[in-house]
Amino acid sequence: MKANLVIINIGVLYTPIIKPPIRGKDMSHILEVENAFIAIKDGKIIDFGNQDYAKYISTETEIFDAKHCIAIPGLIDSHTHLVHAGSREDEYAKLRAGVPYLDILKSGGGILGTVNKTREASFEDLYKKGYNSLNEMMLYGVTTIEAKSGYGLDLLNEVKQLEVAKKINETHPVFIKSTYMGAHAAPKEYKDNKPGYINQIIEDMKYIKNHHLADAVDVFCETGVFSIEDTRKILKEAQQLDFSVKLHADEIDSLGGAGLGVELQATSVDHLMAISDEDIKKLSKSNTVANLLPGTSFYLNKGYAPARKMIDANCALSIAGDYNPGSCPTENFQFIMHLASNELKMNPKEILNATTINPAYHLGLSESKGTIDIGKDADIVLMDASNLNYLVYHFGVNHTKHVLINGKFVVFNRQIVRKK
Ligand code: NIG
Ligand code: FE
């Protein structure tokens, strides 16, 4: 078979190789191929290795010299709040002065501040802001994301957010998986009637399902937001409708959200800064992935999730960005990877598994994404680095040189490739 494109002179190609979810010690396993090539046809990888690639070349084939860049699979950011309006730099000063994040929310700010702005925003303005943020993420090497609603908190505005994500997915090269998160907070109309809001969410999920606007449902299970019982009720209803489920769990207080996630066979439980030892044990015996978000700990100046303890206990981990205006305002996924190393004490191979195949697994995409392998989508990042360790060590800069999605260059020489 002849290729459309063969990338040659790859310094080192790094790819996960174990079947996901990759857990515990296995997370330190990555295949390394020196002086590699990747052959691509019709958007898929047809071969890779360090042998002779001549058999894939015809007069039609483009040959691209990677000039010793390293190659990794496209990065997968499995937890973002991509679509929202406005920003919260006013709150940043309060946080730094020591006002707790949950107190800001309780007084009608925080998430609820962004809800006001998102409700007022036009479809077009939300689309432009989300699209531009996604460009930023792609420049850092991200080729797939998950995007949550949760700043509308009524059917009209949740649907608006999800429709915006859908339009971005149709017009932007990065692939988006959408999650409905009406249970991000109770809106002001339901301030004193949380049960009423939960019933509303349960109704609204039917509409969202019927209109194919999301694949998953997420709940912010936290003190003063949604309790364990509230969360169980919402997610069980979601499962009845055939949504996959996930939770913001044990972010600030240790409520046992991770254990609930295991009980419900959630695809992931996210945050986990305050996870209990008991729940680590439960997670380790399940296929629920611990999705850690070190950027949030960094920004909120909170403790970090006990990643080493979880790896030692044989849990499967992924790392995500949590891009949002209130607890992690950054699109820089490589900085998140640096934090995974510096603060979560994960090694570069663990981090690569945690930002490619494991998130692909819990997003239900591991058949087509997350590794450089024959038959997979040609989502590939070429980084200007001599090895994987360097990528994690040299922080605060962007190592991405070129990005391919479905076999097409979407970032070339650090610039976004504009559609013709
Ligand atoms: O993942 N924890 C809840 N949700 C977001 C923050 C949202 C916000 O503050 O706007 C998070 O950290
Ligand atoms: Fe989040």
Beta bridge partners of residue 288, listed in sequence order:
none
Q: Which amino acid is at 328?
A: C
Q: What is the number of the ligand closest to the CA of 118?
A: 1
- Backbone phi, then psi, for 305, in 5-degree steps? -65, 145
Centre of ligand 1 to C-alpha 338, Å, is: 21
Q: Is the pLDDT of residue 420 over 70?
A: no
**What angle is formed at CA 276 by the lines to CA 317 and CA 178, rounded to 5 degrees?**
45
Q: Quick: pLDDT tens for 91-139.
A: 999 999 999 999 999 888 999 999 999 999 999 999 999 999 999 999 9
Centre of ligand 1 to C-alpha 202, Å, is: 21
Does ligand 1 come within 6 angstroms of the Cβ of 248? yes
Does ligand 1 come within 6 angstroms of the Cβ of 179? no
Does ligand 1 come within 6 angstroms of the Cβ of 326? yes
Q: List the shell of residues around ion ligand 2, using CB closer than 5 Å.
A: 322
Alpha carbon distance 92, 327 (integer Å): 9
* Cβ atoms of residues 145 and 80 within 8 Å: yes
- Name the helix (H) or strand (E) containing 295: helix 294-300
Alpha carbon distance 125, 202 (integer Å): 28
Q: What atom in ligand 1 is closest to the CA of residue 322?
A: 1
Test site for ligand 1: of 81, 151, 301, most ligand atoms within 8 A of the Cβ = 81
Of 77, 138, 82, the C-alpha closest to 319 is 77
Q: Quick: pLDDT tens for 148-178.
A: 999 999 999 999 999 999 999 999 999 999 9
Q: What atom in ligand 1 is closest to the CA of residue 105?
A: 9
What proportion of the chain, given as a percentage, has pLDDT over 70? 100
- Name the helix (H) or strand (E) containing 167: helix 155-171
Q: What atom in ligand 1 is closest to the CA of residue 114?
A: 10
Beta bridge partners of residue 324, listed in sequence order:
328
Q: Is the pLDDT of residue 419 over 80?
A: no
- Atom 12 of ligand 1: nearest residue by CA position: 327
Chain-wide mean pLDDT for the chain? 97
Does ligand 1 come within 6 angstroms of the Cβ of 244? no
Does ligand 1 come within 6 angstroms of the Cβ of 173? no
Q: Quick: pLDDT tens for 330-377.
A: 999 999 999 999 999 999 999 999 999 999 999 999 999 999 999 999
Does ligand 1 come within 6 angstroms of the Cβ of 296? yes
Does ligand 1 come within 6 angstroms of the Cβ of 146? no
Does ligand 1 come within 6 angstroms of the Cβ of 250? no
Q: Quick: pLDDT tens for 271-312.
A: 999 999 999 999 999 999 999 999 999 999 989 999 999 999
Alpha carbon distance 173, 159 (integer Å): 22
Q: Is the pLDDT of residue 319 over 80?
A: yes
Q: Is the peptide bond before 195 cis (omega within 30 degrees of 0)?
A: no
Q: Is the pLDDT of residue 7 over 80?
A: yes
Helices (H) and strands (E) in the chain, counts: 15, 17
Residue 49, sorted as left (phi over 0), alpha (psi -120 to 50) or beta, turns out to be left
Does ligand 1 come within 6 angstroms of the Cβ of 80? no
- pLDDT the model gives residue 108: 87
Does ligand 1 come within 6 angstroms of the Cβ of 220? yes
Which residue in this structure is represented by tokens 């996930």?
246
Q: What is the number of the ligand closest to the CA of 147?
A: 2
- Atom 11 of ligand 1: nearest residue by CA position: 327
Which residue in this structure is represented by tokens 């390293």?
70
Centre of ligand 1 to C-alpha 305, Å, is: 16
